[in-house]
């Protein structure tokens, strides 16, 4: 089976059989209930299902990146303290939940705003929640 991930990194080559088996066990436990997951393997130890094999190789590379700290560390901004009044920015999508006050705050004007819902999964249009 040919794959985009045929190149094995030094990290993956440096893993012992026991470490790979441990990672594979963790991978199979995490993916067991996912639709389309097939744990059958061929004589080389690769998964017979191409999607499962690609997911396994991606899992190995993500483990490598986590161990070596090669991922980009990000942090979310703190939600500002809300000002009095309601947001009038008009369909503003820059909002964040203020966890202690349990309200949404507009990140533009820092006033309370309504959370928005997508119209459908294929649209970028947003509508406010209905309080029925």
**pLDDT tens figures, 24-71:** 888 888 887 777 788 888 888 788 888 888 888 888 888 888 777 766
Q: What is the pLDDT of residue 121?
A: 55
Q: What is the pLDDT of residues 94-108, one digit of tens each?
A: 788 888 888 888 888
Residue 114 has pLDDT above 50, yes or no: yes
State how beta strands 111-113 and 83-86 pair. Answer: parallel
Output 108 or 75, whichever has higher pLDDT.
108
Judge contact between 54 and 3, C-beta under 8 A: yes
All residues at 6 or more sequence positions from 1 whose CB lies less than 8 Å from its CB, including other chains:
42, 46, 50, 53
Judge contact between 95 and 104, C-beta under 8 A: yes
Q: What is the pLDDT of residue 5?
A: 46
């Amino acid at each position: 089976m040919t794959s985009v991930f045929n190149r094995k990194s030094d990290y993956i080559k440096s893993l012992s059989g026991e470490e790979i088996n441990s990672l594979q066990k963790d991978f199979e436990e995490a993916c067991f209930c996912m639709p389309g997951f097939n744990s059958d393997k061929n004589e080389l130890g690769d998964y017979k299902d191409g999607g499962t094999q690609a997911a396994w190789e991606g899992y190995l590379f993500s483990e490598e990146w986590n161990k070596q700290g090669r991922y980009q560390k990000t942090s979310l901004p703190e939600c500002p303290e809300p000002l009095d009044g309601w947001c009038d920015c008009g369909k503003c999508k820059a909002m964040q939940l203020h966890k202690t006050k349990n309200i949404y705050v507009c990140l533009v004007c820092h006033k309370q705003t309504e959370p928005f819902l997508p119209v459908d999964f294929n649209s970028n249009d947003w509508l406010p929640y209905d309080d029925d």
